[in-house]
Amino acid sequence: MSVHRSAVCRGPYGGDDDRADGTDCSDPAVFEVARQGRPPLRVCPVHLGPSLLLASRVLWPPEIILIGRP
Ligand SMILES: [Zn+2]
């Protein structure tokens, strides 16, 4: 868990790793949302809900992993 502690939220649109667009949030990521054919999307608690609906290729039903403390 401590490995991911400095991870930053990429929500709610889930900018890809080669492209930092898609987010204006700088909060620490707390959850990781699984996606199809893409790296998991790390998001803060505020953007967890929106990212499930707005980010591309999110699995449904969602698979969410807790990676940090709120
Ligand atoms: Zn966020």
Distance (angstroms) between ligand 1 centre and the Cα of 19 equals 16
The edge-to-edge listing of strands for the beta sheet with 64-66 is 38-43, 31-35, 64-66
pLDDT value for 68: 87
CA of 56 to the centre of ligand 1 (A): 16
Q: Domain coordinates of the chain in residue numbers?
A: 2-66
- Residue pair 36/59 in contact (Cβ under 8 Å)? The answer is yes
Distance 1 CA to ligand 1 centre (A): 18
pTM above threshold 0.75: yes
CA triplet 52, 54, 57: central angle to 5 degrees?
70
What the block records as the tokens of 37 is 């054919």
pLDDT tens string, the chain, 70 residues long: the values are 445 456 889 888 886 655 555 567 889 999 999 999 998 999 999 999 999 998 989 999 999 999 987 6
Burial class of 65 by CB neighbour count within 10 A (0 to 12, 13 to 18, 19+): exposed
